[in-house]
Structure 1
Amino acid sequence: MSVAAEHTEAGAPARKASKVEPPTHNPDPNFCSYYVTRKHRFCRTECRPGSLYCCTHDVAEAGATPSTAPQAENDVTSSPSDAAGCRGDMRVPCPINSNHTVYASRLERHVKVCPDLRHVTHQLPYFSSDKHANRGAVFVSSACNAPTGGGSRRYTHRDFSAEGLAAVIRKVHECYDSCIAPDLVVLRQPSRDRDAASGEAGTTTTPQATTSCQSSAPVAREEVASLKHGPQHTGLIRCLSDVVRQAQDTDSILVGRCRSQCAPIYVDGFLEFGAGKGGLSAALQQLIVQRLQGIDGTSTTVGEGAEAEAVPSSQREATAETSPLTPSAPQSSWRSDFLAEVAQRPPLVVLDMNGFRRKSDARVRHSAVPLQRLRINIKDVDLTRAFLSEIRPVPSGEGEGAAGAVPSAAPRPLENWAVLGKHLCGACTDFALSCLTEGPLLTSQAQVRLPIVVIATCCHHRCELKHVNPPEQVEGAPAPLVLPGTSFTWSEQEFAALASMSSWAVCGGFVDEERRAVGRKCKRIIDHLRVHFLRHLGYVAFQCQYTARDVTEENVCIVAFQAS
C-alpha cells in the first residue's frame, strides 16, 4: 500500500507525491515488463522465454558480463539492462540498415540474410559509382562548394558584403529580364480545366465528380482528387501530350517551337526519375488503363485495383454509370489524342534511391499496366545496363560479346521512351539530365531513344556547381560558367549565392515580395543553364510554367524533345 493511501486511511489529507516511481513488473507475466513512461503503461509485446522483457527491450549495455539467465518467476529486477546482462547478449545496429538492431551473436549470420540486402545498390548490375556526378568540376577552382564536413561549409549569399549582394541581385534581374523571361512558356489553362490526374489517390476527376460530391450518395475515397497534386499532374501530362502530338494549336506550348509539319512522337515507355511515391506515373497509368478499358470493354473502374474484385458485379455496374473514372466519362481532347500516340501497354519505370510508405506501386501492382521500381541513386545508375538487365532484359543467347562488354539488343526494334520527373530535387535534376548523355550507347546497345523530357524542378538551394552539366563545350579547367549566347558569367561564389537565394521563392511570409521575386528569378537562371545543356545535346528545350503558383511555388518544368 502506498504512503498516500496510508495517510488517507489514517484520516490525514492525501498529498501528491513529488515523484512517482514507475512500476517494475507487469501484472501479466506473459507480457514485457518495460514501462513506457510517456504512455503510462507497459509494453504490450510478449516476453522472451526466460525473461521479463520482449526481444526489443531485452537489450544489453556495452560491457555487460555474460551470466546464466534465471527463471522469470525468480527475477526481482525490472531493469532492461539487467535483464539483458543476464542473457549475456546485446543488440547492435545492423551494418546494412541501422534502422533496426540484431543480437551481436547473430550479426554474422544476419548480414547474409538481412531483408535490406535487396536495397544494397553496389551489387546491382547497373550500379556505377558517381557516374553522373561532378560533371561541373571544371567550373570549381576553390573550396567554396566543398561538401560539408571537416570544418568546411558551403558558400552562400550571406558571405557577400551588402554592396556585393546588391550587385549580384542586379545581375539576376538583368539576366532574367533580357534572356529568360522572353523564352518562358506559360501553359494556358482551359476553361474547363477541372480535369485532373489526381495525386495521392491516383484517380482522375472531371466536372461531374464535383457534382457527385455534392449529392447524398457516398463517394469512394479513390474518387476524390488531390487539390495539391492533381493540378500538377494535369499540367505535366498536358505538357507531355503537346510534345507527343507535336501540337500546334492555340493552347499548345509548342507554338513557334518546331516545324509546322512535325510528325507525332510515338511513345513505347515512360521513365520517371526521382519518383518518390510514384504519384505522377500512377496518374499516367490511370489514363492508360482507361484507354485499355475502352478497347477491351472491361467493367472495372480505374483506381480500384485489386479491391475491384471484391465488389459485387451489380454494384460495379451501377457505379460505372456515374463514376467519373469510366471510359464513358467525358474526356478532354488533349487526353484522347495523347493516348493515341502511346503503346497499348507501355512499361512505366520509376526510379528513386529511397523507399516510401503508401507509395502507388501497391495500388497498381495487379493492374494491366503495373509500375516497375528501381531503387538506386540517380548519380550511380548506368542507364544502358539498367535497360539491358532490368527494364528490357536481353533474352538468353542474344548479344553475347566480349567478356565485360555491354550486351547488345540489336534484334529489337527501336523504342522511344519519355523521361519524366516531378519536383526532382536539387542536383538530382542534373544527374537525370546527365543520363541523357548515354543516348548514343542506349540507341546502339539497348535500342532505346529518349526523345522526350518533361521534368519539374525543385529545391534549387541544394544545387551545387560541381554537379552542373556544362551548357556548352568547355576547354580547360578551371573555366568560367557562361550562359551561352550572352555575356553573363557566374563565378563560383555567385552561383552559390544563386542557389541559396532561390530559397526565398518558397519562404512565404517570412520574406517580402521583392525577395520572393528574386528567388524565383534565381531558380529560372539555374534551370536555363540546364535548358542550354539539353540544347547542346540536340534537344529543342525551354522552360514552361505548367500550373499556378497558388498550387505550388515550384510550378515550372523543363520541356525538351527531339523531333523526328
Structure 2
Amino acid sequence: MEGNTDVTESKPTHCKHFVTRKKRYCRMTVKEGEQYCGEHQSEDISKNHDDDNNESQKRIVCPLDPKHTCYANKLKKHLKKCNAKPADTVPYIHKNINAGKVDETNVKTRNLSSIPIEYLLEVISKVNKIHNDTIKNSLIEKVRTHVILEEELSKPEYGNSTRKHLLQTSSILGLMKEYNLLQPETCYVEFGAGKGKLSFWVSKALENLEHLSSSVLLVERASHRHKHDNKLDKTTGHVIRIRADIANLILSEVDIIGKSKHVVGLTKHLCGDATDLALRCLTNCQETGKDIAGVVMAFCCHHRCQWSPYVGQAFFQEVGLTKSDFDVMCGMVSWAVCGTGKSREHRQQSEMNINQNARY
C-alpha cells in the first residue's frame, strides 16, 4: 500500500438527555452538530434554537400531551393526528356506561406476601370446593379448526408464536361455525381488536360463505399501526373500526349495529376486566331490543380484573366468596403462568433433551 493515510471513522454521538427513571443517558443517536435526539431536543431549545433561522429545527412540547415533543413549524399538522387529541363527540360514547358501580377502593395491585398464609389457604380451600361441587362437571373442552386458515397454517416460515395465534383464531372460527354463528345480516363486534387479526379472518370466512349482508365492527381504544383490516375492502362499508374504550361504549348507538339484524360478540385475549366491560356492553345492547346471537370470548390477564365491573358478583355472593377473596384470587392466578423459577438456559436445555429423547 502506498502511503499511510489514517482513516478515522466518526463514532455516532448519543443524546445528552439524562433519563432519570432509567438512571442513564438516552441511547438515541443525534444529528451532526446536535446534542439531543429529536424527542429530547426541547431540552436544548433555549440554548441553540432561539433565533428565527433555526425555526425549522425547533422542537416544542406538545400542548395536548407534555410527554412528547414536535417540530414547532409542524405543530398544526401534528395536532390533527396526535394520539392525545380529544375524541370527537359521538352518540355512542358515554363515560363509564359499562363500568358497573364505580368503587374507588378497587385494589390495583395484589401483594400476596402481605396477606397471612392462613387466609391464603382458606381461599384456596374455598376455591377447590366450589370448583369440585359447582363448576367441574360443567366445563367442556372443545378445540376446532376452520378451513379458511388451512393454507395460512401450512406456511413453513411461521414460528411457534405466530402458529399459536393462528390456531387459536382457527378454533374460534370453528366454534362459530359449529354453533351456526357465521350467518347473514349479522354484525360481528370484536372488542379490544388491536391490529384486527381475528376480524380479518372472520371477514374472510364471511366472504367465503358469500354472507355479504354481514359486517365486522372493530372496537379498540388505542391507535395501532399495520392494522390487518386495512387489507380488507372498506369501500363496501362492511368493515368498520371505531376508537372507543369499552367502558364508555353504547353499542346500540353505532350506525352499523342499527343496520344489522343480529349481533355476535368476539374477543381474543381481551385483557382483565375488559371482558366484563364487553359482556355488560352486549347486555345493555340486548336490553334495547337487539338480538345478541352469540358470544365467543378468549380471556387473558385475569390478575388485572377489578371487582367493580366484574359481572360475576352475584355468583360470588351465592357461593360465599367476598370482595377480599376476589382480590386474593386475582393475585393467585399468576401462579399458573409464573414459570418454574429456573433460568431460561436451563429450560431451553431441558426442552432440547426432551426433543432429542423423543427421536429415539
**TM-score, scaled relative to structure 1:** 0.49
User: Pick from 125, 145, 150: which aligns with 1:205?
Assistant: 150
Measured at CA, do residues 37 and 376 of structure 1 come closer, stay the same or move farther in structure 2, by a change above 3 Å? closer
Give the letter for the 1:164 counterpart: Y
Equivalent of 1:454 in 296, 300, 311: 296
Q: Which residue of 2 aligns with 1:177?
A: 132
Q: Which amino acid aligns with 1:205?
A: E
Taking a change above 3 Å as real, the CA distance of residues 490 and 268 of structure 1, as seen in their structure-2 partners, is same
Alignment of structure 1 residues 227-306 onto 2, 5 Å: 227-244=163-180, 268-292=186-210
The secondary structure found in structure 2 opposite 1:349 is strand
Match for residue 125 of structure 1 among 85, 91, 116: 91
Q: Is the CA contact (8 Å cut-off) linking 2:186 and 2:263 kept in structure 1?
A: yes
Match status 1:346 vs 2:214:
yes
Q: What amino acid does structure 2 have at the position aligned with 1:269? A: C
- Give the total of aligned pairs: 321
CA-CA distance at 1:364 after TM superposition: 1.4
Distance 2:43 2:161 in 1: 51
Partner residue of 2:355?
none
Q: Which structure: larger Rg?
A: 1
**Correspondence for 1:492:** 323
2:61 corresponds to which residue?
Answer: 93
Change (3 A) 1:489 1:58: closer
- Does 2:52 align with 1:84? no
| Structure-2 residue corresponding to 1:417 | 263
Q: Write the letter of the residue equivalent to 1:116.
A: C
Q: Report the RMSD for the aligned CA atoms in angstroms.
A: 4.2
Q: Distance in 2 between matches of 1:466 and 1:57?
A: 38
Separation of aligned partners in 2, 1:368 and 1:21: 53
Question: CA-to-partner distance for each residue in 1:173-192, whole Å, 9 max, x for gaps?
Answer: 11112111111111155xxx
- What is the rounded CA distance, in whole Å, between the counterparts of 1:57 and 1:172 in structure 2? 50
- Gap change, CA 1:506 and 1:383, over 3 Å in 2: same
Cα separation, partners in 2 of 1:275 and 1:58, compared to 1, 3 Å: closer
Seen in structure 2, the aligned counterparts of structure 1 residues 178 and 157 have a Cα distance that, compared at 3 Å, is farther
Residues 188 and 217, structure 2, Cα contact 8 Å, conserved in 1: yes
Query: Would the aligned equivalents of 1:384 and 1:441 in 2 still touch at CA under 8 Å?
Result: no
| Equivalent-residue separation in structure 2 for 1:181 and 1:360 (angstroms) | 38
What residue number does 2:243 align with? 375
Aligned mates of 1:499, 1:86 — CA distance in 2: 56
After superposition, residues 366-515 of structure 1 pair within 5 angstroms as 371-385=239-253, 387-388=254-255, 391=256, 415-440=261-286, 442-443=288-289, 448-469=290-311, 471-472=313-314, 481-483=316-318, 488-510=319-341
Secondary structure at the residue paired with 1:418? strand
Classify 1:163/1:96 alpha carbon distance in 2 versus 1 (closer, same or farther; 3 Å).
same
Instruction: Give yes or no for contact 2:83–2:223 (8 Å, CA) kept in 1.
Output: no
Alignment gaps of 5+ in structure 1? 1-7, 10-19, 25-35, 45-50, 65-81, 148-153, 198-203, 215-220, 246-263, 293-342, 393-408, 473-479, 512-564
The separation in 2 between residues aligned to 1:124 and 1:288, in whole angstroms, is: 29
Q: TM-score under structure 2 normalisation?
A: 0.73
